[in-house]
Amino acid sequence: MEIFQDISATALGSLTGIRMSKDEVICYSIIVFLVALWYRMLWHRRHFDKLTSKLSGPPSYPLIGSGLEFVGSPQQVMEKLIKMYETYGPEPFKIWLGMKFAVTVVKPEDLEIVLNGSKALAKDSLYQLFSQVIGEGLFSAPVEKWKKNHRIIRPVFNITLLSQFFSVFNEKDMILIRNLQRELDKDEPFDLWEYVASTTIATICHTAMGYDGDNQDKSGVDFVAALKTSFELNSMRIYKPWLYPNFIFNIYGKLTGIDKVYETLNKLPNKLIKQKKIEFAEKKKNKSSVVDITDNEKKRLQLFLDKLIELNEEGANLTDEEIRDEVVTMLVGGSETTTITNCFCLLMLAIHQDIQDKVYDEIYEVLGDGDQPIAIEDTSKLVYLEQCINETLRLYPVAPLLFRHLTDDIEITNCTLPKGSTMIISPLATHHLPELYPDSWSFNPDNFDPENVAKRHKFSYLAFGGGPRRCIGTKYALFSMHVFIATFLRNFSVHTTWKMSDIKLRLDLMIRSVNGYPVTIRPRDRRPTYKRN
């Protein structure tokens, strides 16, 4: 290296008549590199110049784009994001994510064009920043891989099979009720998160993976904690382009200890896959033991992970990494997302006691004062409860930002979005448009009564996405949340000293409450509070 620098300095000096020091050569080399990088960025941006002149948006700087707009803690990033939508929306506006050109689309009419078409099916390369966490499962997979895996997984979510999960929903939720007894009648509030998270991870492990661990199974709790931490650390990369290069982030990971977090994150998925492979191998050895099973029993065997292992044995040629990615995607979708929504929903009901009373009265009317398990047909009668769940997801959409890559130009209502750009879809922004939801930061379940829903554009509500890549587990999530909230309120009333203004939000890949979900609980007096009209 020193010889190279001496030669470079001598050569450059002979051309200029001036001999340069090694430090000067290095300095000028860096300058030349940065200038070349800047011109490369300008060349890359030339396709977008026509549109950028027409769109508003936050200021952008060389190389880092609008990254300075997002310097700060996850809470500050969320606050700046909300402010940005208030400042530049609801019309499309531009934002540079490093050297990536992105357009944010908020209006339902534009979202319908984008999400229902075939030109924005591809997830953006930004999701590769989370590859060590979620891999390339159904949520983040390239289009062709998504189409193939979607065909494989979709049958697992049919109503017949989902109805068989209700016994698990009821069982796991009742374990939660027993565990919560220790919090009864305490003056000091407790955080709902750990209780709810342990329940939802145990539920998805049982229903999708066939693993019947206890609600307090340490592997599940460790997975949830590692997932939360890894999302927090990886999400910073979206707004900090200087962390985009993997070699830089790997150094950052070693300094912050994130490598150990990944190891913990992978323990549960690897354990579930290994156990299922052993079970499948044993069944193959002893086929006679399953010859006479009934059709219903056959269906019960076709859980999510069963299906993946079976298809792989039949020639699907899924690698261990691909199976792991789909398992993690299912664990995240079935636990983390429902945990966040259940916690926010109970907190909303604790703040709004009158609404909690209405929900309980409906539960009492449908289920009575006994302890009979909740069945799938009961959920269709819990109409007001579903309105509360939907309103919670409107206020606090679990995935507040979605990123798509445009494979061709798309013409929306007032501009043409260019091929190669990143499309940012924000359920958080759309759900808080005052023209769609008056007083949009208030909790109002009447937003989802049938009459009000009929007045709005169908893409005014994006809690589960929209178009062909809409969440495949929507029905599973809603069923499990119906049972969870109903079971909780049958046994406890929930209370808090918080007001809506006390809730501070933070952002990673998902939306969260900065200071948790503090509540107190009291035994439920199993009588209706009043008759609903």
CB 215 within 8 A of CB 178: no
Is 362 exposed, middle or buried (CB count within 10 Å of its CB: 0-12, 13-18, 19+)? buried
Distance between CA 42 and CA 37 in Å, rounded? 9
Q: Which of 486, 485, 479 is nearest to 204 (CA)?
A: 479
Six-digit token pair at 76?
Answer: 């500050």
Q: Helices then strands (H, E): number in the chain?
A: 23, 12
> What's residue 292's pLDDT?
46
> What's residue 294's pLDDT?
46
Is 81 exposed, middle or buried (CB count within 10 Å of its CB: 0-12, 13-18, 19+)? buried
**pLDDT band with cut points at 50, 70 and 90 for residue 37:** low
pLDDT: which is higher, 228 or 107: 107
Q: Report whether pLDDT(183) > 70.
A: yes
pLDDT: which is higher, 292 or 211: 211
Three-state DSSP string of 77-102: HHHHHHHHHHHHCCCCEEEEECCEEE
Residue where the block lists tokens 């930002």: 401
The overall average pLDDT reported for the chain is 84
CB 118 within 8 A of CB 419: no
Distance between CA 430 and CA 111 in Å, rounded? 10
Distance between CA 194 and CA 220 in Å, rounded? 11
> What's residue 293's pLDDT?
41
Q: Which of 431, 427, 467, 413 is nearest to 112 (CA)?
A: 467
Read off the pLDDT of each residue in 354-367 and give the average, rounded to a whole number: 96
Q: Say what the alpha-carbon torsion angle 495, 496, 499, 502 is, to the nearest 10 degrees.
A: -150
**pLDDT band with cut points at 50, 70 and 90 for residue 533:** very low
Residue 45: which residues within 8 A CB-CB, separation 6 or more? 52, 99, 101
Is 11 part of any domain?
no
Distance between CA 428 and CA 446 in Å, rounded? 19
Q: Report whether pLDDT(191) > 90.
A: yes
131-135, 332-336, 391-395, range with the lowest pLDDT: 131-135
CA angle 439, 94, 503 (to 5 degrees): 35
pLDDT: which is higher, 347 or 136: 347
Give how far Cα 316 sits from Cα of 151, 196, 320, Å.
12, 36, 12
pLDDT: which is higher, 10 or 164: 164
Is 33 part of any domain?
no
Distance between CA 492 and CA 83 in Å, rounded? 38
For the CA atoms of the chain, what is the radius of gyration?
26
| Cis peptide bond N-terminal to 269, omega within 30 | no
* Per-residue model confidence as pLDDT tens digits over 280-311: 888 777 764 444 444 444 444 457 888 788 77
Give how far Cα 533 sits from Cα of 268, 362, 376, Å.
48, 11, 25
* Per-residue model confidence as pLDDT tens digits over 454-480: 999 999 999 999 999 999 889 999 999
* Per-residue model confidence as pLDDT tens digits over 91-145: 999 998 877 889 999 999 999 999 998 999 999 887 887 777 888 887 888 888 8
Is 439 exposed, middle or buried (CB count within 10 Å of its CB: 0-12, 13-18, 19+)? exposed
Q: Alpha helices of 399-445 — where are they, by DSSP H?
A: 427-430
Distance between CA 498 and CA 514 in Å, rounded? 13
Amino acid residing at 407: T
> What's residue 18's pLDDT?
57
Distance between CA 346 and CA 492 in Å, rounded? 11
Edge-first strand order for the sheet with 518-523 is 190-191, 518-523, 492-495
Distance between CA 257 and CA 277 in Å, rounded? 31
Q: Residue 129 sits in a domain of what CATH number?
A: 1.10.630.10
pLDDT: which is higher, 286 or 193: 193
Is 20 part of any domain?
no
**pLDDT band with cut points at 50, 70 and 90 for residue 450:** very high
CA angle 460, 393, 387 (to 5 degrees): 85
Domains held by the chain: number: 1
Residue 191: which residues within 8 A CB-CB, separation 6 or more? 516, 517, 518
Is 13 part of any domain?
no
Is 293 part of any domain?
yes
Is 40 part of any domain?
no
Domain range enclosing 459: 47-523
Give how far Cα 86 sits from Cα of 80, 93, 339, 409, 443, Å.
10, 11, 28, 27, 19
CA angle 106, 109, 111 (to 5 degrees): 50
Distance between CA 176 and CA 494 in Å, rounded? 14
Distance between CA 190 and CA 315 in Å, rounded? 50
pLDDT: which is higher, 117 or 500: 500
Is 4 part of any domain?
no
> What's residue 214's pLDDT?
53
Q: Are strands 93-97 and 100-105 parallel, antiparallel or unpaired?
A: antiparallel
Is 194 part of any domain?
yes
Phi, psi of 495 (to 5 degrees): -140, 155
pLDDT: which is higher, 139 or 37: 139
